[in-house]
Amino acid sequence: MKNCALDKNSMTILIADDHPLTLYGTQAFVTSLGYKVVHICTDGQEAFEWIVMHQPKMAILDISMPQMDGLEVLEKLHQRGISTRIILFTMHKEATIYKRAKNMGLSGYLLKEGSEDELKLCLETVAQGGKYMSKLILKEVNKHQTSESEELTFAEKKVLELIAQQKTSKQIGDLLFISEKTVEKHRSNIIQKLNLPKEKNILLHWAMKHFIDK
Amino acid sequence: MKNCALDKNSMTILIADDHPLTLYGTQAFVTSLGYKVVHICTDGQEAFEWIVMHQPKMAILDISMPQMDGLEVLEKLHQRGISTRIILFTMHKEATIYKRAKNMGLSGYLLKEGSEDELKLCLETVAQGGKYMSKLILKEVNKHQTSESEELTFAEKKVLELIAQQKTSKQIGDLLFISEKTVEKHRSNIIQKLNLPKEKNILLHWAMKHFIDK
DNA sequence: AAAAAAATAAGGGTTAACCCTTATTTTTTG
DNA sequence: CAAAAAATAAGGGTTAACCCTTATTTTTTT
């Protein structure tokens, strides 16, 4: 039954994490499971270049990394149509980040606070062509779905991104070539859709908590 | 020369980190150096209780942990006069956090992005009674010293903490039993001392970036 | 082509954050 | 005990964020 058994040794994996001890810990664990770790690195730029060049079967990427974050790596690989299966292994439990990644051909999303067993299961699933999203992040997404029932439109997301970068409505208007008043309208709509409490600066606060800022 | 050589096997160590793979990675590395890892756990509450009960020689604590964060553990141990030497091993590069910890008898501060060698050197130094603070965090502190030349007073710190919790000046006044106007004055003084740019909500923004909120 | 959804814009109002100045009281320190 | 530093408070002003309403244009869907 050779087609049933997983040939782990042919599953080449790249691991990228900017925390050396986590990196080595993950490498040791993944190797002990029988997979072939072909490259490790501590920054996103290197991870991206290595993946483009050597196209390993899978890659385990942290999100917070210097030069280029894991989401950017995923996005750029996705744009180039590279078939390396990407697993994000990160501490970011934000539903927003997960949702962004999900639309870019992501194969797995794990939280660092999760167990080793989860990583093992995830690797098996992804190696066989499946997708594995941590229950922890799905729970987080569900929590938000109740209040975030209505999805944000493209324009609203754009505005939210700029709010997270501390731009004022005026500045956002200039950047998007729309009136300040329109930006304010978008702000109100976002607050309504997200069902945020009536507080000053509530949007800035929310945006800062849910976006990775550069 | 027995008194020169370090008896690593008598150096009992507790390690706490809420990311299992980092925890096991650290444990494996520390053990490989010859130290005796007597307990590992993934939350601060357990770490605190174990340390109080068994008083190991050293403890390596992450800051972000469920139940009780590393800083709180350090603070409570310090208040009780427990002699376990604490090393914070964390991803928080904020100067403010380091400064808070420094005044609580801290023995070491390492960043997760630092190398294994750094952890090795730190353990040796602390085992011999010394203190080891990562160059990475000291650099961060220096960066802020230029702009943060004047230290914040106690009242200002208190206000800043509440700002990070999204309280308005009015709410802060009520909480601290002082006038809203006084709070506003503190805000202005903080902005001046930190040399922050003249922008709306700049304090909320700064406070959120530099404080761990609950 | 009509209906629905999204984006655009404006007028008008409230509030909190920030700025500046002045001034009194309390605490710390030489 | 003076002098310096910190905390307290108030008046008065500007601005950005948010709220509500109405309305036109553009895009998408049926």
Structure confidence by residue, pLDDT tens digits, A51-87: 999 999 999 999 999 999 999 999 999 989 999 999 9
Helix (H) or strand (E) holding A210: helix A202-210
Residue A1's pLDDT is what?
Answer: 46
Distance (Å, whole) CA A204 – CA A167: 9
DSSP string, B185-202: HHHHHHHHHHT--S-TTH
* CB B89, CB B110: distance < 8 Å: yes
The residue type of A165 is: Q
Give the number of C-alpha atoms closer than 13 A to the C-alpha of residue A47, restricted to the C-beta side.
Answer: 36
Under the banding of pLDDT at 50, 70 and 90, the label for residue A147 is: very low
Residue B148's pLDDT is what?
Answer: 47
Tell me what percent of the residues of chain A surpass a pLDDT of 90: 62
Q: What is the pTM of this model?
A: 0.80
Q: Does B32 lie at the interface with A, CB-CB under 8 angstroms? A: no
Would you say residue A166 has pLDDT above 90?
no
Structure confidence by residue, pLDDT tens digits, A113-131: 999 999 999 999 999 999 9
Residue B60's pLDDT is what?
Answer: 98
* CB B42, CB B20: distance < 8 Å: yes
DSSP string, A42-86: SSHHHHHHHHHHH--SEEEE-SS-SSS-HHHHHHHHHHTT--PEE
* A–B CB contacts, 8 A cutoff, strictly below: 75
Residue A207's pLDDT is what?
Answer: 83
Structure confidence by residue, pLDDT tens digits, A78-87: 989 999 999 9
Residue A84's pLDDT is what?
Answer: 97
- Residue A41 φ/ψ, nearest 5 degrees: -155, 165
Which residue, B50, B35, B33, B39, is CA-closest to B14? B39
Which residue, B68, B125, B63, B118, is CA-closest to B96? B63
Contacting residues of B for A29, CB less than 8 Å apart: 21, 24
Q: Does A208 lie at the interface with B, CB-CB under 8 angstroms? A: yes
A207 touches strand D (CB under 7 A): no
Measure A210 CA to nearest chain B CA, in Å.
13
Residue B151's pLDDT is what?
Answer: 73
Q: Does A25 lie at the interface with B, CB-CB under 8 angstroms? A: yes
Q: What is the DSSP letter of A198?
A: S
| Full pLDDT tens readout for chain B, 214 residues | 444 567 888 899 999 999 999 999 999 999 999 999 999 999 999 999 999 999 999 999 999 999 999 999 999 999 899 999 999 999 988 877 887 788 788 999 999 999 999 999 999 999 999 999 999 999 887 766 554 445 788 888 889 888 888 889 999 999 999 999 999 999 999 888 888 888 888 888 888 777 655 4
Which residue, B61, B135, B131, is CA-closest to B103? B131
Query: Angle at CA A160, nearest 5°, toward A157 and A162?
Result: 115
B127-136, Cβ contacts within 8 angstroms, sequence gap of 24 or more: B127/B6, B127/B8, B127/B11, B127/B35, B127/B57, B127/B58, B128/B6, B131/B106, B131/B107, B132/B87, B132/B107, B132/B108, B133/B98, B133/B102, B133/B108, B133/B109, B134/B109, B134/B110, B136/B93, B136/B111
HEC letters along B51-77: HHHHCCCEEEECCCCCCCCHHHHHHHH
Cβ–Cβ gap B116/A208 under 8 Å: no
A201 touches strand D (CB under 7 A): yes
Of residues A100 and A203, more confidence is placed in A203
Residue A213's pLDDT is what?
Answer: 52
Cβ–Cβ gap B19/A201 under 8 Å: no
Contacting residues of A for B115, CB less than 8 Å apart: 20
DSSP tally for chain A: helices H, then strands E: 10, 6
